[in-house]
Chain A
Amino acid sequence: ETGVTQSPTHLIKTRGQQVTLRCSSQSGHNTVSWYQQALGQGPQFIFQYYREEENGRGNFPPRFSGLQFPNYSSELNVNALELDDSALYLCASSPLLNNEQFFGPGTRLTVL
C-alpha cells in the first residue's frame, strides 16, 4: 500500500510568483487536508477537500487555493508569493472525515 506522496520535495520561488504543490493520497482515502508548517512552529490548517469539494478552511487568504481530483489527489496553489510563505507544506489524507490523518513527507517552499 502506497502512502501519501508529495511533489516536489523542494522548491525555490521569488516574491510575486505562483506555485503549485501536489499530493497523492493514500489508497482508499477520499479526504485530503493541507497544512503549513513555518520553521520552528507547529503545522497550521490551510484547508480540506472531501469528494472534490472544499470542506473547511483555516485562516489563510484567498491566494491560497486548492483542488481535488476524481482520484482524490490534490493540488495546493499559492498566488502572489510572499516571503512569509516560506514553509514546509504538508498534505494529509484520511479515509473519512474525523478520522486519523496520514501525512506525506512535505514540500519545502522557499520564497526569495
Chain B
Amino acid sequence: AQSVTQLGSHVSVSEGALVLLRCNYSSSVPPYLFWYVQYPNQGLQLLLKYTSAATLVKGINGFEAEFKKSETSFHLTKPSAHMSDAAEYFCAVSVVGSGNTGKLIFGQGTTLQVKP
C-alpha cells in the first residue's frame, strides 16, 4: 500500500528565507509524486510532479523538489520565500501500472506561513 507522510503540519519562514517542506512516501512499486498548493477556499493547483524522469524536478513559482529513492523522500524547496507563498501544501503519490486508476494519496498537508 502507498502512503505519504508530511513532516511538520506548520512551517514558518521569513520573507526571503529558504522554504523546505518535507515529504516521505511509501510505495512498493515505482511511484509518481506530486506537490500541490491550496490557497484558502480554493481547489488544488499542481506545483510540480515526478514521473521517473529527472530526479530534480522544477515547478511553477520557483519551487523545485528532488526525488531520493534511497531516502524515500520528495522534499519541496524554494530559495527565497514570498508573502504570496503562504498557503497549504500537499504531497501526493500515485501508483504507476496498467489498469491503475492513478488515484492520488495525499499527505496531511503543511501550512506555510511567511512572515514579513
Contacts and interface: CB of A to CB of B under 8 A. Distances in A.
A44 B105 CA distance: 7
Interface of A: 4, 31, 33, 35, 40-45, 48, 50, 55-56, 58, 90, 92, 94, 97-106, 108
- Contact size range, B: 20 to 34
B115 to A, nearest CB: 22
A103 B44 contact: yes
B108 A41 contact: yes
A79 B115 CA distance: 44
B63 to A, nearest CB: 16
Interface centre among A31, A43, A99, A100 (most CB of B within 10 A): A43
Contacts of A105: 41-43
A43 to B, nearest CB: 5
A60 B96 CA distance: 23
A106 B43 contact: yes
Nearest to B32: A98
A45 B105 contact: yes
- Top 4 nearest A-B pairs (CB, nearest first) are A42-B106, A56-B101, A98-B102, A103-B43
Interface string B12-44: 000000000000000000001000100001111
B43 A33 contact: no
Nearest to B34: A100
